[in-house]
């Protein structure tokens, strides 16, 4: 049974009396890449966390095409600043497999293949804490993908990375999509959205302002917020 569609109905998240996102009515289905854009503080991260199920809903619901516990096992999340565990690069990547009972030798062997794939073979046995920002993001992505999630949420994975590191991350993401993983990813980079997105979600002031195919959105946003964002204007 497919994990999708995912349906959010009247879902909202609050903190200290402030609405961070919502109410949200949203349906995600099919394959490809959904890119979430919007100004700082708009609610992009809160939206991703809400859909992934790692924040408490104030109102509404988020449902998947299977029981919620099963849904959580079949998806993953990559944070903007991923946490590196105090262990080697290869053991960081192997950790998700060890959590589900894969024997250490088998988990390390599969992790090493991923470490080679992301270009960190020379650092496989070094502490993950000495990696550069781009290397940490590649490790975090490999750690998320090693369990072959059906849906992967990413919160600005290329923020503060240079062009080369961004290109390498995007190549890994495109490979994941080709392998069948559905991506839902936030970014400030409109160029990245143009390169990767099949559909766009524009968030502003804690609300979804637009949810359209990427082609339609970039050809002509329907809302004042969308038009202003594409022009590079400040959207409050």
Residue 138: inside a domain, yes or no?
no
The total number of structural domains that make up the chain: 2
Per-residue model confidence as pLDDT tens digits over 141-187: 999 999 999 999 999 999 888 999 999 999 999 999 999 999 999 99
Quickly state the pLDDT bin for 137 (edges 50, 70, 90). very high
| Domain of residue 96, residue span | 85-130
Q: Are residues 211 and 94 in the same domain?
A: no
Q: Indicate if 79 and 89 belong to the same structural domain.
A: no
Pair (72, 164) in one structural domain: yes
Count of CB atoms situated within 10 Å of the CB of 177 = 17
What pLDDT, in 10s, does the model give residues 93-110? 999 999 999 999 999 999
Question: pLDDT tier at 236 (50, 70, 90 boundaries)?
Answer: confident
Angle at which helix 133-145 crosses helix 104-117, to 10 degrees, equals 130
91 and 186 inside one domain: no
98 and 189 fall within a common domain? no
27 and 78 co-located in one domain: yes
Average pLDDT, rounded, for the chain: 95
């Amino acid at each position: 049974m497919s994990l999708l569609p995912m349906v959010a109905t009247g879902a909202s998240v609050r903190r200290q009396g402030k609405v961070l996102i919502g109410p949200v009515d949203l349906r995600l289905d099919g394959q490809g890449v959904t890119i979430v854009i919007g100004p700082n503080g708009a609610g992009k991260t809160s939206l991703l966390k809400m859909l992934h199920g790692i924040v408490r809903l104030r109102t509404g619901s988020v449902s998947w095409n299977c029981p919620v516990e099963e849904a959580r096992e079949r998806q993953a999340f990559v944070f903007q600043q991923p946490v590196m565990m105090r262990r080697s690069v290869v053991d960081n990547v192997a950790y998700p497999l060890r959590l589900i009972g894969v024997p250490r030798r088998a988990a390390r062997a599969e992790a090493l293949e991923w470490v080679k794939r992301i270009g960190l073979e020379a650092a496989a046995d070094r502490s993950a804490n000495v990696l550069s920002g781009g290397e940490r993001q590649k490790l975090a992505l490999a750690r998320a993908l090693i369990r072959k999630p059906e849906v992967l949420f990413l919160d600005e994975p290329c923020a503060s990375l240079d062009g080369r590191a961004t290109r390498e991350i995007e190549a890994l993401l495109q490979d994941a999509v080709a392998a069948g993983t559905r991506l839902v990813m936030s970014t400030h980079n409109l160029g990245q959205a143009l390169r990767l997105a099949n559909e766009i979600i524009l968030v502003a002031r804690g609300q979804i302002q637009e949810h359209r195919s990427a082609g339609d959105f970039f050809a002509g946003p329907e809302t004042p917020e969308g038009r202003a964002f594409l022009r590079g204007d400040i959207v409050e």
